[in-house]
Structure formats: C-alpha cells, structure tokens
Chains A and B, each alone.
Chain A
Amino acid sequence: MREARLVALREIATRLRQRSLQLSTVLSLVIVVGIAVAAGVVGGGDDRETVAVVGPASAQVGDAARQLDPGVVTRRLDDRAAAEQALRDGDVDAAVLDGREILFERNADDGLAAVLQEASARVRAAQTLRGAGLDPAAVSDALSPPPLAVASLEPEDDGAAELVAFVVVLILFGQLLSYGMAVATGVVEEKTSRIVEVLLATIRPWQLLAGKIVGIGLVGLGQLLLVTVIGGVAALATGSIEVSSDVAVAIGVALAWYVVGYAIYSCLFAVTGALVPRQEDLQSAAAPLTLAITASYFVGFVALQSPDGLLARVAAYVPLSSPLVMAPRIIAGDASTAEVVVSLAIALATIAALVPLAARLYAGSVLQLRTRVSVRRAWRAAATDRAG
C-alpha cells in the first residue's frame, strides 16, 4: 500500500501543477456558474411583481393585492402618464388607475390580473358591507376565509431538479471522459518514456496501476467537488434553486456516481493504455470507450426527457451507462429506491470483477514497449512473464 500511496501522491502533485487542470477547472466553473445565473434570470427566480397605484382607491386595491399575494409590491405614482411611462420602462408590471382600470404594457398577465381583480372585488365588497353597517372585524373575517388546502395527485416541481440533473450529466460526462483519458495517457507516457521498467524493478504492476488510478481519480473528485459546490452556491444565490438540501443531495449523488463511473472506466482506460506502444495509437484504441461515455451522456439526456422510456430503464442498469443515467434520474426524482439499489449493486459487482482483470491485463502488457499487445496475449503473458 505504501508504494501505491507514493505513486498516487506523485500523480496528484504532478497534476495539480498542470496548467491544463487549472484551465479546465476555471472553464467548468464559468459554465456551471453561467448556467446557474442564466437559470435564475430566465426562470424568474425573482417572482416579485411591481404594481403602480394611481389614486387613493387604487392604493386600497394595492394593499388588498399585497395581502392576497406576498409577491406583489406596490408603488404610488402621481398620474396616468407617470404610470404609462413606468410600464414602458419596465419598472412596473402593471398599473391600477383610480381603482377602476388595470393597465399592462402589452399582454395582460393573467395571474397578476386575477390577483388585482380579486383585490378590487374585496375592496368593493368590504366598502359595501361596511356601508350596510356591519362590524369591520366581521367584514374582514368574512372576506378572508381560511384558504383551502391545496394538494395534487402528481406533484410537478418547478423544473429546478431537471435543470440540476442536466448540469450534473454535463459535468459527469466531462469528468469521466477527461479523467479516464488521463489514466490511459499517463500509462502510455510511462511506456514511451520507458520509466515503467525502472518502476517495475521496484514496485509491482498492481501498485503502479492502483496508485495511478487513485491519484488521478482523487484530482478529478476534488475538481468535481469544487465545481459542484461553487455551482450550487451560485444557484442558491441567484434563486435558480431555492432549497439548499436539494443542492446538497445533487452534489452527493454526482460525487457518488462519479466514483462508481470512474472506477469502471479508469480500469478500462488503463488497460487500453497498457496495450498500445505510443500516444498516437491511443486515440483509436480508446475510441470504443470514449464512444461508450458519449453515448451514455446522450442516453442520460433521453432519460431525463422520457424517464419512463425503455431506453432509460435499461440503461440505468448497464454498468457503462448507469453512472450517466442514474445520477440524473435520482436527482430529477425519476428513480425508485429499488432501481437505485439494483443499479448500484450491478455497478459495484462490475468493479469487483474488473479490478483484478485490469490488474492482470496491465501487468501482462505494460512492459511490451514496442508493439501493440492483444488482450489474449496480455492475459497469457501475465501468467508467465512476471516473477512471483
């Protein structure tokens, strides 16, 4: 373990110094914060509505409207011209003129109009009832009955969860692809620089492999944590997400499925790197893996669009696609507990099978410095070539 830890620490130290890591972190932060801010603006996270009131009768309507809807803010203006100007400038969303007329800039906002109509009706009704000699307190009670409880058979959220799920798929895709590829590239680098023979004269192949995978994986995990936490804080600050526990759950799910996905893909990428002699050969050799990640990424989106579709349901259990499908499904609330448990169990079983397999294939091929090695040859070589 000591050797693997030393290898991992070297990987971390080396990578933290790389400009490419710093650049990709900044880029990810810009994208995530950008999405959070854009969602806050577009989604109307600020749902206050300002109503201009002109004249004392309007002021009463405005007060009633504020009671009906806490999101309503009123502003007194002097006359109709001032109200029209404020509407055109976008300073107010609607104007109530002398308690008789509601003015919008273009189309009437049905919701706001309904609130104002209701407010106006209450003001009129109260005046009438008081005029009929009723006790003002009784009038107030009569006009403000306890509201009906609201429930729905299939509650639909405001889309924030889907947005978070979308961002998580995007980030997970980037992390799995870039850090998986980093493992393969790192393995090939050690082959082309020939340092691998120096290293393997001292430590065992599995120690080198484990250290490399864990070291690179931790850098990826750290970057993911940084990006998701800052993105989450930005989303809360801009109001595109309102509940901080939603953010915490999303970050936890993203980190967990990153670890699962990275464990699977990094083993496969490491073996791919060990099989090829040069960086030039890596792109084509790794193509099936990059394709698998990219396809899973698209399936992740499809799963968000149609969570009950066959593709989404099947891909949630396939170990190569489950990280990019399950993470968004869980965040969007599309996955049942049973589905999560089964999917995770399959993924963990895959990892348990993959780790010794990858270690053996890696050991059987990483010292073949000149030629491409077939999987079959790597498998057999591992049995005979390496000293016990």
Chain B
Amino acid sequence: MRDSHAPLELDGLTKRYGDVMALDGLTFSVSAGSLHGFVGPNGAGKTTAMRIVLGVLGADAGEVRWRGAPADENDRRRFGYMPEERGLYPKMRVREQLAYLARLHGRDSASAHEAADRWVRRLGLAERGDEVVESLSLGNQQRVQLGAALVHDPELLVLDEPFSGLDPMGVDVLAEVLAERARAGVPVVFSSHQLELVERLCDEVSIVAGGRLVATGPLSRLRAAAGPPLRRLRVEGAADGWAGAVAGVRVVERRGDELLVELGDGADEDALVDAARAAGSLRHLSEERRTLTELFRDAVAPA
C-alpha cells in the first residue's frame, strides 16, 4: 500500500488516552501535488493524527515520515497547519499577526512582512490588514486563519475541518487556494465531514474509523474497489423482475420505472440492453458512480 515516493507518510501511528485507543496503527500516505481528503466519523482519530503529523502531540508508536525520513523540527517548521479550534491573538492586527507567525516559521523580517502583505491581499483582507482580529467578522477571521497556515509558503498543508463555518464564498476562496497550492506541488491534507465537497475537490481520500485506516487511495480506485459497476436505467411498460433474470445482474434499487442495477461477474451490458428493450421501452441508461458518501457508509459500517 505504501508508496515509497509519497512525500508524507503516516506509518503505524498509535495513540492511547487512558483506556481510549485514539489511533490504532494508522497508516497512509499523501502524494505530492494532491488534495487529500481525510474523512471518518467523529472520534475516528483525525485530529489526533493531524496533531501528531505537526508534532503538537507525540505518538505512542509509529512515525511520521517526510520525504522518506522521520519528520523533525526543521521539517515541521515548513509545514502549515490549521487546527480544528481556530486560534489567533484577538487583539493583534491582522498583518502584524501574519508577519509574526511567518517569522516564527523561520522567515526573516522583510520577507515575513512581504508575505503577510501578499496573503492579506490574496485573501481579500487588504482593507482590514491594520485592524485587530477580534474586530473582524467570523468569516474574515477564518480567512486570517487560513493566512496563518499559508503565510510561510509551507511545503505541506494540514488543515483540520477548514471548510466548517465558511459561507459559500469562503468555501470557494479556500477551495481555490488549496487547489492552487496542490498544483504548485504541495501535498494538501484536510479533514471534512462535507463529503460532497471532498468528492468534488480531492484526488485522494483516506477513510478512518476507530483509529484505523479503512480505505485510502485515489477516488476512482476506491470506487472500483467498492463493488461492481452500477447502471441506472428507465424502462417504460416493462413487467417486474425482468432485470433480475439477466445473468450477473443484481437489482440494487427500484423506483417505478427506474432501476439501479449492479453488473456483477459475467454480466454483459449489451445483454442488459437487449433484455430491457425486450421487456419494454428503454428511455434512459447511464453509468452510476458510487458517491463518497456511499463508500464512506459501506466502509465505516460494513455490517
């Protein structure tokens, strides 16, 4: 499973809080230049895993590797992080705050101020740059928070629920910025409960439950692995049960004239079309992709 070329690798991360096993040997990797969605039910260990990647927390076992070697302090200084609990100095001015954070990440004074200016403009906060953070609207505070994760041009971005609490415009700005960073070759990992959004934005997804990895990889591969291909068709004037008689075909869902069927082993799409036309009038036939939501449900609750 492990891709030896992946810049970020989480390998067997284990973390226990008292009796609670927060992470139980979590392993996955994030490719360069990919937007990687990190999904799982509440309490699956997403935040714990991200904190360990950033070194805010130590793992009981396992390691985080950056470009093939265990991530150290110097590597982590070049990571960008947005914690689930947003945090800024409420009484510090926006520009000053971003410049300060850039300096903590190792920038010199001049380049820190230059970067702060650039991100303030990029995030549409040019007019708010000299205001203190607490005077900003929540949406604008979120933008500053994103700026805090990006101001030092990180080589890896780790964002915990970055889309929560954003209005649709904010979502667009953030999605655009993340896609742009990914195009620039930066691996971007973010967690989210908004699965449609993850599906729309991400190239890769990892699904965790109970501190373990359930599935990981490019979405297309996850879909293929989830089960046989699906077809949605509408056949008017057909009698019940025609589809089930076709070899290898299983009816998943039926609503009036509309059917959702699985093409199992030995199933032939042409045979399905022939059977449909024999049974009635075929009005619609399309390929149905499994949504991430479905993959997620199947993966997390296999029973």
Asked if B60 lies at the interface with its beta carbon under 8 angstroms from chain A, I say yes
Q: CB within 8 A of B104: which of A3, A369, A387? A: A3
Q: Encode A191-211 as 1/0 by CB contact (under 8 A) with B.
A: 001111111111110000000
Known: A197-B87, A201-B81, A385-B57. Contact between A6 and B105, CB under 8 A?
no
Which among B79, B91, B104 has the greatest number of chain A C-beta atoms within 10 A? B104
Q: Does A386 contact B (CB under 8 A)?
A: yes
Query: Smallest CB–CB gap between B234 and chain A, Å?
Result: 52
Whether A202 contacts B77 by the Cβ 8 Å rule is: yes
**Is B275 positioned at the interface, with any CB of A under 8 Å from its CB?**
no
Which stretch (B48-56, B203-211, B278-286) binds chain A?
Answer: B48-56
Interface set, chain A 75-90, CB cutoff 8 A to B: none
How far, in angstroms, from A14 to B132 measured CA to CA in the complex? 12
- B74 → A minimal CB distance (Å): 11
Decide yes or no whether A388 CB sits under 8 A from chain B.
Answer: yes
Chain A 3-33, CB-CB to B under 8 Å as 1, else 0, gives 1001100100010000000000000000000
Q: Which of B56, B79, B83 has the most CB of A within 10 A?
A: B56
Question: Does B58 sit at the interface, judged by CB under 8 A?
Answer: yes
Query: Is A367 an interface residue when CB atoms closer than 8 A count as contact?
Result: yes
Q: In angstroms, how far is the closest chain A Cβ from the Cβ of B159?
A: 12
Is B43 an interface residue when CB atoms closer than 8 A count as contact? no
Check B105 against A195 for contact (C-beta < 8 Å): no
Q: How far is the CB of B65 from chain A (nearest CB, A)?
A: 13
Chain B min CB distance to A387 (Å): 4
Beta-carbon contacts under 8 Å, A332-388 to B: 367, 369, 384-388
Residue of A6, A197, A202, A204 with most chain B CB atoms under a 10 A cut-off: A202
CB neighbours (8 Å) of B105 from chain A are 202
Q: State whether A384 touches B56 (Cβ < 8 A).
A: no
Are B81's CB and A384's CB within 8 A?
no
Asked if B104 and A202 sit within 8 Å, CB to CB, the answer is: yes
By the criterion CB–CB under 8 Å, are A201 and B83 in contact?
A: yes
The listed residue (A3, A6, A200) touching B56 by CB distance below 8 A is A200
How far, in angstroms, from A10 to B102 measured CA to CA in the complex? 13
The yes or no answer to B250 lying at the interface (CB within 8 A) is: no
Find chain A residues with CB under 8 A from B51 CB.
197
A193 and B56 contact, Cβ closer than 8 Å, known pairs A6-B103, A201-B79, A203-B104: no
Q: Is the CB of B101 within 8 A of A198?
A: yes
The chain B residue with its CB closest to the CB of A3 is B104
Contact in complex: A201, B87 (CB < 8 Å): no
User: Once the chains bind, are A384 and B76 in contact (CB under 8 Å)?
Assistant: no
Any chain A CB within 8 A of the CB of B115?
Answer: no
CB-CB under 8 A from B60, the residues of chain A are 384
Question: Which of A3, A196, A198, A385 is close to B58, meaning CB atoms less than 8 Å apart?
Answer: A385
In this assembly, does B167 line the interface, its C-beta being within 8 Å of a C-beta of chain A?
Answer: no
B56: A residues at CB distance < 8 A:
197, 200-201, 367, 387
Min Cβ gap A255→B in Å is 30
Residues of chain B with a CB closer than 8 A to A198's CB: 81, 83, 87-88, 101, 148
Q: Shortest CB–CB separation between residue A196 and chain B, in angstroms? A: 7
What is the CB-to-nearest-CB distance from B277 to chain A, in angstroms, rounded to a whole number? 61
How many angstroms from the CA of A198 to the CA of B79 in the assembled complex?
Answer: 11
Contact (Cβ within 8 A) A193 B88: yes
Interfacial residues of chain B within 128-162, with CB under 8 A of chain A in the complex: 148
**Inside 8 A of A387's CB, which chain B residues have their CB?**
52, 55-59
Chain A nearest CB from B286 CB (Å) reads 46
What 1/0 flags go to B59-89 for Cβ under 8 Å of A?
1100000000000010011010101011111
In the complex, which residues 121-179 of chain A have their Cβ closer than 8 Å to any Cβ of chain B?
none
Chain B 9-60 residues near chain A, CB threshold 8 A: 51-52, 54-60
Least distance between B133 CB and chain A CB atoms (Å): 9
User: CA of A204 to CA of B57 in the docked complex: distance in angstroms?
Assistant: 11
User: Whole-angstrom distance between the alpha carbons of A387 and B49 in the complex?
Assistant: 12
B99-118 Cβ-contact flags toward A at 8 Å (1 or 0): 01101110000000000000
- B185 on interface, CB distance cutoff 8 Å: no
Report B268 CB to chain A, min CB distance, Å. 55
Q: B165 near A: Cβ within 8 Å?
A: no
- Quote the shortest CB–CB distance from A15 to chain B (angstroms): 11
Partner of B101, one of A193, A196, A202, A386: A202
Residues of B within 8 Å of A197, CB to CB, are 51, 56, 83, 85, 87
A369 lies within 8 A of B58 (CB) = no
Which of B54, B85, B88, B92 is close to A201, meaning CB atoms less than 8 Å apart?
Answer: B54
**Distance, CA A3 to CA B100, complexed state (A):** 11
Q: Is there contact, CB below 8 Å, between A386 and B87? A: no
Q: Please tell me if B227 contacts chain A, counting CB pairs below 8 Å.
A: no
| Chain B neighbourhood of A369, CB < 8 A | 85
- Which A residues are in CB contact (< 8 Å) with B264? none
CB closest chain-B residue, reference A194: B87
Check if A388 sits within 8 Å of B77, measured CB to CB.
no
Q: Is B124 an interface residue (CB 8 A)?
A: no
Alpha-carbon distance A10/B100, docked complex (angstroms)? 8
Chain A residue contacts of B87, Cβ below 8 A: 193-198
Max chain B Cβ within 10 angstroms of own Cβ: one of A10, A386, A387 = A387
Can you name the residue of chain A whose Cβ is closest to the Cβ of B87? Answer: A194
Among B60, B83, B148, the one with the most A-chain Cβ atoms within 10 Å of its Cβ is: B83
Tell me whether B244 is interfacial, beta carbon within 8 Å.
no
Q: Which residues of B are found within 8 Å of A203, using beta-carbon distances?
A: 104
Given known pairs A197-B83, A198-B87, A201-B79, the reply for A388 and B92 (CB within 8 Å) is no
Q: Chain A residues with Cβ under 8 A from B83's Cβ? A: 194, 197-198, 201
Contacts of A7 in B (CB 8 A): 104
In the bound assembly, the distance between CA atoms of A202 and B80 in angstroms comes to: 9
In the complex, what distance in Å separates the CA atom of A7 from the CA atom of B101? 10
- Bound together, the chains give a CA A3 to CA B87 distance in angstroms of 19
Q: List 11 A-B contacts (CB under 8 A).
A: A14-B92, A193-B87, A194-B83, A195-B88, A201-B79, A202-B77, A202-B105, A367-B57, A369-B85, A384-B60, A387-B56
B residues lining the A interface (CB < 8 Å): 51-52, 54-60, 73, 76-77, 79, 81, 83, 85-92, 100-101, 103-105, 148
Q: A194-B85, A199-B104 given. 4 additional CB < 8 A pairs?
A: A201-B81, A202-B104, A367-B56, A386-B57
Which 10 residue pairs spanning A and B have beta carbons closest together?
A194-B87, A195-B87, A387-B55, A387-B58, A201-B81, A201-B54, A194-B85, A197-B83, A202-B104, A198-B87
